[in-house]
């Protein structure tokens, strides 16, 4: 230790940088140095470590550079604890090892943490690699250009780390892959030989006791590379074992099946003989089928000729009458155009008539207004005349009353004079009788004097009464005059109202007639519309009736012309000889005609015959066979399985054929389902493809007969489709009576059609009449409405006059008050007058009594005179009354003159206005009449054209009806031909169906494939001549013989199936056995090949390593011997490898029994041998010489020095015998708890010392 430290200290001033010169590579065959030359060695470039840069890594503080290293042998020296082993830890750190491999628990503990440097964040190690090419005979080398490689790893305080390659961040995988690619053995760590691990090689067992440990065998296999075969060999071994077990199982099964097959041989032969008879029977029946097909072919040829002939006849008939049909179509088009033109002209005429009616209505209105105005003028003239007459009468009254007043005044004067004279004469008579009457006279005078105040009072009262009564009568007459006018006006309005009511009733009646006409028009129009719809329905019903009649007739003919087989069986059923036979399946259900083609294409089994039981079916087959009627297929209702026939969801909700079929009875539904299953119906092929090839496969048929099976195969379609397999009506429902009834229905509908057309034309005529009648009714209504309006207007005017008269009749308040006053005054005066008269009546009676006495005294003369005086007095009273009356009349006449003057002026003005109105109305009526005349002329013209158009339309209609009748006769004839054609086509179809049945029967014939060892029978198709030459009776006789033999035979046919199953199973078992045997052989070959290849490769490497081990050990120990031996010489992998050593001058021993130094030498010899076998560019050894004495250390050091030329050795050693031989010394020392390094080139020091000495 002291000597090492002194050497480092003494040589510290000789620190050198990286030199271009390197240590010599030592050849394994020549221990002497070769002459120095500049010639390259003929070898590949190898990777070496140039230097290492440690930054804060473990004991290295700051950035510390270690190196440069020599290309071959570098020794790291330094005192214990200085940090030598940290150099190896730095290598392991960069090579990706975990912290525990570097004697630390975590990565963060790798960061330098000496006193004062406790808080460093990270540590980094960089290793500088480069590739070199050694130069022959020299320590020199050439660096391969651009081969420098810097790999670094950085660890952080948080225990994370990063990898870098040439300064670029990388990862563990890239770094390790890169190093492995450059030859560094990171898997087995042969580049690293640590202290104590050298002896671990010697402690290896020959073979690992389990998969988690390593033995010497595994160690060598990993190096040689044969460990890669271990897993494939184990897998192959396991596979081979499994295959052998499987083969044994299959072999046993094959033997069992073979034994079962052999037990069925006898029964199989009996069944094959039976099947040969059936083959012969099928061949005979094939001939019978072909003979029937020949007959069908001949019938088809005849029917085809009939069909072609009828088609030609129909085509000829259609071509012959094509022109007539075209003429009828042209006439229909012309009739349609004429109807449109007629309707347009009728519309135009109606518009003109409406316009004319409007003018006439206006003319009537104007006439009524004029009539009203003339009436008003007439009344006004009457009023003016009345006013003039009244005015004249008033004037006359004034003159008369004035004259009467004069006359009455004269009379009054005359009467007063006469009264005076008569009173004088009376007085004279009284004077003459004075003596006799004086007493009485005095009494009378006294009484008269007594009466005089009362008389004055009575006269005054009477005079006041007369004046008041006169004034009262005047006012009353004034009021009574207005009342008379009002009463007259009220009588007039009552008359007008009665006239208006009459007019309103007439209007209502007219409106009712118009509404009734309109309703009739609407009803007729509705009837016509209904007739149009009914016409379509009747036409459709007639067409349906014709179709039903034709279909029923066709069905009846079809029913009557069923094929021979079905007819024979149905006759047998009807005779009661077979119970449980129903009919062909297609006749036991119906389907809409829309799906006829679809179901006929999708279900050929509709021609199968439905029976109840197997026995019924067998009876039918026996009958057909006995009578040589051919073959038929039967559906056995009692053998049909129970099936779910409920509706199912379908793609796009397309219908299922089975759901569209309506069975005759529910018990036939399973039969239909058994042949239809879930076949769907699509509208077209595109939809069918979409459904058929969807996620779920479906069997789909189109309406045109294109069929797609679940397997994807497509059939059907084309020019000729299959139809008629099922009808829309049960054929058993159609009888001759049904056909006759349907024909009667058709005839009845044709009669209805004819009658309907007549009614239709009658309704059209009625509609036109009503439409023509309507304008005149509307014109009459318009006139009535105008009259009514005139009445309303006159009533309004009269009401207005009545209102005015009522206003006039309404007494003046002053007049009424005055009349009331006068009435009161008169009543009061009359009462007073009566009171006065009562009061004075006694005096007057007394005077009258006295006067009577005087008259008695005076005699007749006095009485006569007295009478004269009284008469004159009475005349004076009457005259006074007349004077008063004349005065009142005169005053009234004067007031009337003023009134009549005002009324006359007003009426004259209104008369002038009415004259102007009448003039204007006359002019308007004239203008309106002229316009109406022009429109009426147009209306007459359009009516004439309309009538002509109607005549033309009727003429075209008549021609069209004639043509239609001809077309109907033609169509009836064509329909007859079509019916014949349909019958022929139906007959042709039946022959074809019969042919198809025989073809199906022929196709249904099958030959048993009896044995693969004998020649198989085949059906032969014969020519027509060959078939004619064959005797049908002979063949039928042979058939009967064969059928009898087959019937009497009682083979167990199921044996054939069982035998075939066993044979097939045997073949399958044999094939499986052969296949598994082949697999076993292949697996065995593979297994053997892998073992052989592993053994050969291992032994080849093992031999080289063992031989080199012997050489290395002899060289190191100078005479010892070492060998690697297989525990089992035949199989080295069974027991493993033994490492035997014979140290110099000792016996052979197992390596585990050697001393420590001997174990180290033995292990080193193996390491060097392995290096020879598989070199690695880099070796790092940590104090491997610790257990060796100085002699062995020198031997190992010299070997490393002299014998390695293609690898770089970095050796940590404290033995001078070792490091003194190194080409480069790297000193490691520690100061202040921080490690540092120094690199020394011993050759330069030696040369310098030589020069100094």
Question: Angle CA(1022)–CA(1027)–CA(1030) in degrees, nearest 5?
Answer: 125
Task: Tell me the residue range of the domain where 938 lies.
Answer: 325-533+788-990
Is 691 among the domain residues? no
**1052, 1071, 1102: which is the final residue of a domain?**
1052
Angle between helices 1054-1117 and 216-224 (to 10 degrees): 100
Q: Is 1114 exposed, middle or buried, given 0-12, 13-18 or 19+ CB atoms closer than 10 A?
A: middle
Token pair recorded at residue 648:
């199912």
Task: Name beta bridge partners: 942.
Answer: none
pLDDT at 1253: 66
111: pLDDT strictly greater than 70 = yes
Q: CB-based contacts of 572: which residues, under 8 Å, 6+ apart?
A: 578, 581, 620, 623
Whether 342 and 314 map to the same domain: the answer is no
Q: Would you say residue 2 has pLDDT above 50? A: no
With a cut of 60, say whether residue 621 has pLDDT above it: yes
pTM score: 0.39
The pLDDT value recorded for residue 1204 is 63
The CA distance from 531 to 545, in Å, is 19
Percent of the chain with pLDDT over 70: 86
pLDDT of 809:
57
Do 657 and 681 touch, CB atoms closer than 8 A? yes
* Cα dihedral 346, 350, 353, 359 sign: negative
Task: Check whether residue 306 and residue 343 sit in a common domain.
Answer: no
Q: Which of 636-650, 660-674, 976-990 has the lowest mean pLDDT?
A: 976-990
**How many Cβ atoms sit within 10 Å of the Cβ of residue 3?**
9
How many domains is the chain partitioned into structurally?
A: 2
Chain-centroid distance, C-alpha 499 = 73
Per-residue model confidence (pLDDT) at position 736 = 65
CA gap 1151, 1160 in Å, rounded: 10
pLDDT value, residue 716: 66
Can you tell me the distance from the alpha carbon of 251 to that of 1070, in angstroms, rounded to the nearest whole number? 8
Mean pLDDT of the 1219-1235 span: 88
Give mean pLDDT, residues 892-912: 78
Identify whether 893 is part of a domain: yes
What lies within 8 Å, CB to CB, of 518 at 6+ separation is 774
SS3 of 1171, please? helix
Listed residues 967, 990, 1013: the one ending a domain: 990
Q: Do the Cβ atoms of 450 and 841 come closer than 8 Å?
A: no
Tell me which DSSP letter residue 101 carries.
G
- Tell me: pLDDT of 1123 over 50: yes
With bands split at pLDDT 50, 70 and 90, how would you rate the model's confidence at 681?
very high
Q: Mean pLDDT across the chain, nearest whole number? A: 78
Give yes or no: residues 342 and 301 share one domain: no
In a domain, 370, yes or no: yes
Whether residue 415 sits in one domain with residue 309: no
CA distance 498 to 503: 9
Give the pLDDT confidence score for residue 30 in this predicted structure.
34
* Confidence (pLDDT) at 4: 41
Question: Do 945 and 915 share a structural domain?
Answer: yes
Query: What pLDDT score was predicted for residue 618?
Result: 87
Task: Match 């195969």 to its residue by tokens.
Answer: 713
> How do residues 953-1010 score in pLDDT, each as one tens digit?
777 777 777 777 777 767 767 777 777 777 777 777 777 777 777 777 778 787 877 7
In a domain, 255, yes or no: no
d(CA 657, CA 680): 6
pLDDT tens per residue, range 771-801: 777 777 777 777 777 777 777 777 777 777 7
pLDDT for 15: 35
Better-scored residue on pLDDT, 474 or 17: 474
The pLDDT of residue 514? 82
Give residue-wise pLDDT tens across range 211-238: 777 788 888 888 888 888 888 888 888 8
Q: What is the pLDDT of residue 133?
A: 86
- Containing 135, the helix (H) or strand (E) segment is strand 122-136
Which tokens go with 75? 């020794």
Beta strand 706-708 with 714-716: parallel, antiparallel or unpaired?
Answer: antiparallel
Q: Are 405 and 890 in contact (CB under 8 A)?
A: yes
One domain for residues 284 and 392: no
pLDDT over 50 (residue 3): no
Quote the pLDDT of residue 7.
Answer: 36
The two tokens of residue 161 are 């780390």
Q: What is the pLDDT of residues 751-767, one digit of tens each?
A: 777 777 777 777 777 77
| Residue closest to 451 by CA, chosen among 868, 829, 862, 848 | 848
Confidence at residue 32, expressed as pLDDT on a 0 to 100 scale: 34
How many Cα atoms within 13 Å fall on the side-chain side of residue 310? 19
Instruction: Judge whether 820 lies within some domain.
Output: yes
Average pLDDT over residues 914-939: 80
- Please check whether residues 378 and 494 belong to one and the same domain: yes
Please, are residues 617 and 634 in contact by the beta-carbon 8 Å criterion?
yes
Assigned domain for 505 exists: yes
State mean pLDDT over 63-73. 89
Between helix 736-809 and helix 434-560 the angle, nearest 10°, is 160
Most confident residue range from 436-445, 730-739, 1149-1158: 1149-1158
Domain-embedded: residue 808 = yes
Tokens of 64: 């510390």
Both 309 and 425 in one domain: the answer is no
Helix, strand or coil for residue 1161? helix
| Whether 403 and 288 share a structural domain | no
Identify the pLDDT of residue 12. 38
Q: How many Å apart are CA 699 and CA 694, to the nearest integer?
A: 11
Say whether both 278 and 371 belong to one domain. Answer: no
What pLDDT is recorded for position 1058?
A: 78
CA–CA distances in Å: residue 1230 to residues 1180, 1197, 1227: 22, 26, 10
**Last-in-domain residue among 1052, 1074, 1099:** 1052
Q: Which long-range contacts (CB under 8 A, 24 or more apart) does 862-871 make?
A: 862/426, 862/429, 862/430, 862/433, 865/422, 865/425, 865/426, 865/429, 866/426, 868/422, 868/426, 869/419, 869/422, 869/423, 869/426
User: Which residue has tokens 């449980």?
Assistant: 580
Which of 548-552, 709-713, 791-795, 1115-1119 is predicted most confidently?
Answer: 1115-1119
Per residue, the 3-state secondary structure of 517-585, as one string, reads HHHHHHHHHHHHHHHHHHHHHHHHHHHHHHHHHHHHHHHHHHHHCCCHHHHHHHHHHHCCCCCCEEEEH
What is the rounded distance in angstroms from the CA atom of residue 221 to the CA atom of residue 224? 5
* DSSP class of 1236: E
Q: Which residue has the higher pLDDT, 230 or 891?
A: 230
474 plus 431 within the same structural domain: yes
On whether residue 883 sits in a domain, the answer given is yes
Distances from the Cα of 432 to the Cα of 436, 568, 859, 1130, angstroms: 9, 176, 12, 230
Burial of 1215 (0-12, 13-18, 19+ CB in 10 A): buried
**Cβ atoms < 10 Å from Cβ of 474:** 17
Q: How confident is the model at residue 434 (pLDDT cuts 50, 70, 90)?
A: low
Residue 25 pLDDT > 50, yes or no? no
Give per-residue pLDDT as tens, 1169-1185: 887 888 778 888 888 77
Where is average pLDDT lowest: 366-375, 390-399, 473-482? 473-482
More confident residue, 479 or 376: 376
Same domain, 294 and 337: no
Please give the structure tokens belonging to residue 489: 């006006």
């Amino acid at each position: 230790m002291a000597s090492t430290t002194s050497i480092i200290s003494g040589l510290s001033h000789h620190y050198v940088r990286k030199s271009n010169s390197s240590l010599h590579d030592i050849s394994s065959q020549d221990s002497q140095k070769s002459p120095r030359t500049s010639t390259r060695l003929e070898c590949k470039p190898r990777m070496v470590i140039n230097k290492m840069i440690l930054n804060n890594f473990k004991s290295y503080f700051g950035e510390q550079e270690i190196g440069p290293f020599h290309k071959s042998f570098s020794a790291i020296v330094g005192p214990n604890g200085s940090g030598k082993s940290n150099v190896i830890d730095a290598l392991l750190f960069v090579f990706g090892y975990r912290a525990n491999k570097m004697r630390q628990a975590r990565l963060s503990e790798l960061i330098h943490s000496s006193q004062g440097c406790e808080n460093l964040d990270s540590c980094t190690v960089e290793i500088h690699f480069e590739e070199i090419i050694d130069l022959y005979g020299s320590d020199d080398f050439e660096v391969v250009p651009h081969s420098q490689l810097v790999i670094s790893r950085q660890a952080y305080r948080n225990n994370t780390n990063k990898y870098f390659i040439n300064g670029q961040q990388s990862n563990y995988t890239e770094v390790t892959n890169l190093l492995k690619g450059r030859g560094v053995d990171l898997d087995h760590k042969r580049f690293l030989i640590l202290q104590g691990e050298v002896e671990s090689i010697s402690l290896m067992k020959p073979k690992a006791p389990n998969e988690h440990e390593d033995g010497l065998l595994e160690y060598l296999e990993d190096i040689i590379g044969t460990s890669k075969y271990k897993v494939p060999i184990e897998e192959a071994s396991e596979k081979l074992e499994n295959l052998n077990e499987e083969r044994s199982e299959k072999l046993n099964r094959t033997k069992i099946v073979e034994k079962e097959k052999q037990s069925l041989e006898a029964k199989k032969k009996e069944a094959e003989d039976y099947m040969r008879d059936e083959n012969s029977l099928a061949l005979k029946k094939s001939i019978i089928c072909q003979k029937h097909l020949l007959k069908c072919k001949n019938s088809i040829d005849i029917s085809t000729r009939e069909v072609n002939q009828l088609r030609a006849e129909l085509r000829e008939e259609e071509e012959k009458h094509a022109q007539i049909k075209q003429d009828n179509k042209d006439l229909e088009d012309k009739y349609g155009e004429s109807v449109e033109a007629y309707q347009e002209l009728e519309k135009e005429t109606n518009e003109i008539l409406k316009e004319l009616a409007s003018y006439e209505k206006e003319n009537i209105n104007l006439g009524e207004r004029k009539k009203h105005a003339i009436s008003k003028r007439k009344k006004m003239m009457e009023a003016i005349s009345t006013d003039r007459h009244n005015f004249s009468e008033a004037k006359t009254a004034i003159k008369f009353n004035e004259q009467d007043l004069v006359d009455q005044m004269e009379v009054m004067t005359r009467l007063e004079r006469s009264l005076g004279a008569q009173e004088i004469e009376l007085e004279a008579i009284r004077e003459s009788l004075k003596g006799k009457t004086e007493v009485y006279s005095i009494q009378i005078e006294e009484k008269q004097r007594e009466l005089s105040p009362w008389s004055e009072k009575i006269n005054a009262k009477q005079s006041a009464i007369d004046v008041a009564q006169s004034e009262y009568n005047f006012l009353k007459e004034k009021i009574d005059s207005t009342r008379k006018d009002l009463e007259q006006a009220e009588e007039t309005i009552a008359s007008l109202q009665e006239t208006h009511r009459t007019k309103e009733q007439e209007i209502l009646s007219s409106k009712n007639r118009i509404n009734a006409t309109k309703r009739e028009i609407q009803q007729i129009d509705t009837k016509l519309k209904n007739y149009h719809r009914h016409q379509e329905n009747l036409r459709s019903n007639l067409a349906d009736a014709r179709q039903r009649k034709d279909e029923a007739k066709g069905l009846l003919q079809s029913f009557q012309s069923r094929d021979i087989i079905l007819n024979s069986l149905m006759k047998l059923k009807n005779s009661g000889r077979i119970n449980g036979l129903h009919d062909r399946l297609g006749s036991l259900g119906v389907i809409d005609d829309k799906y006829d083609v679809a179901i006929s294409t999708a279900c050929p089994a509709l021609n199968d015959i439905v029976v109840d039981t197997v026995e019924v079916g067998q009876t039918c087959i026996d009958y057909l066979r006995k009578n040589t009627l051919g073959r038929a297929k039967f559906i056995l209702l009692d053998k049909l399985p129970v099936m779910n026939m409920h509706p199912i969801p379908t793609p796009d909700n397309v219908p299922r054929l089975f759901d569209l079929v309506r069975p005759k009875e529910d018990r036939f539904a399973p039969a239909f389902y058994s042949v239809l299953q879930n076949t769907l119906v699509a509208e077209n092929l595109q939809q069918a493809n979409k459904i058929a090839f969807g996620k779920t496969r479906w069997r789909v048929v189109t309406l045109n007969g294109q069929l797609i099976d679940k397997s994807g195969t497509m059939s059907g379609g084309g020019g000729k489709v299959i139809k008629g397999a099922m009808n829309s009506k049960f054929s058993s429902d159609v009888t001759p009576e049904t056909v006759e009834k349907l024909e009667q229905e058709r005839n009845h509908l044709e009669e209805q059609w004819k009658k309907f057309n007549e009614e239709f034309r009658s309704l059209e005529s009625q509609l036109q009449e009503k439409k023509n009648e309507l304008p005149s009714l509307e014109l009459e209504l318009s006139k009535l409405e105008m009259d009514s309006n005139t009445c309303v207007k006159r009533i309004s005017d009269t009401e207005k006059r009545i209102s005015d008269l009522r206003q006039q009749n309404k007494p003046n308040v002053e007049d009424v008050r005055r009349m009331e006053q006068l009435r009161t005054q008169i009543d009061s005066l009359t009462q007073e007058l009566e009171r006065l008269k009562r009061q004075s009546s006694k005096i007057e009676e007394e005077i009258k009594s006295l006067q009577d006495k005087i008259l008695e005294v005076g005699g007749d003369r006095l009485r006569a005179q007295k009478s004269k005086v009284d008469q004159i007095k009475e005349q004076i009273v009457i005259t006074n009354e007349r004077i008063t009356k004349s005065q009142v009349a005169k005053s009234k006449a004067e007031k009337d003159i003023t009134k009549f003057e005002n009324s006359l002026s007003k009426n004259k003005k209104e008369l002038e206005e009415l004259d102007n109105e009448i003039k204007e109305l006359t002019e308007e009526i004239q203008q309106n009449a002229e316009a109406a005349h022009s429109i009426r002329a147009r209306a007459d013209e359009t009516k004439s054209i309309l009538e002509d158009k109607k005549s033309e339309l009727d003429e075209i209609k008549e021609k069209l009806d004639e043509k239609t009748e001809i077309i109907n006769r033609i169509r009836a004839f064509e329909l007859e031909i079509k019916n014949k054609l349909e019958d022929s086509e139906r007959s042709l179809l039946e022959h074809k169906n019969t042919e198809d049945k025989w073809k199906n029967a022929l196709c249904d014939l099958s030959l048993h494939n009896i044995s693969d060892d004998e020649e198989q029978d085949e059906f032969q198709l014969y020519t027509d001549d060959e078939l004619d030459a064959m005797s049908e009776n002979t063949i039928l006789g042979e058939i009967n013989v064969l059928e009898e033999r087959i019937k009497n035979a009682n083979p167990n046919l199921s044996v054939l199936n069982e035998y075939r199953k066993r044979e097939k199973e045997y073949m399958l078992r044999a094939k499986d056995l052969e296949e598994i045997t082949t697999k076993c052989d292949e697996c065995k070959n593979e297994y053997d090949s892998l073992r052989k290849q592993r053994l050969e490769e291992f032994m080849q490497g093992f031999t080289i390593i063992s031989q080199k081990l012997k050489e290395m050990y002899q060289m190191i120990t100078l005479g010892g011997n070492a060998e690697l031996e297989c525990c089992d010489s035949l199989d080295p992998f069974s027991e493993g490898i033994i490492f035997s050593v014979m140290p110099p001058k000792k016996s052979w021993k197992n390596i585990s029994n050697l001393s420590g130094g001997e174990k180290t030498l033995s292990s080193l010899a193996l390491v060097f041998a392995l290096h020879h076998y598989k070199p690695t560019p880099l070796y790092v050894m940590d104090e491997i010489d610790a257990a060796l004495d100085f002699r062995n250390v020198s031997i190992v050091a010299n070997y490393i020095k002299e014998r390695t030329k293609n690898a770089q050795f970095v050796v940590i050693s404290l033995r001078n015998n070792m490091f003194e031989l190194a080409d480069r010394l790297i000193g490691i020392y520690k100061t202040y708890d921080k490690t540092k390094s120094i690199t020394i080139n011993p050759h330069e020091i030696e040369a310098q010392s030589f020069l100094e000495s």
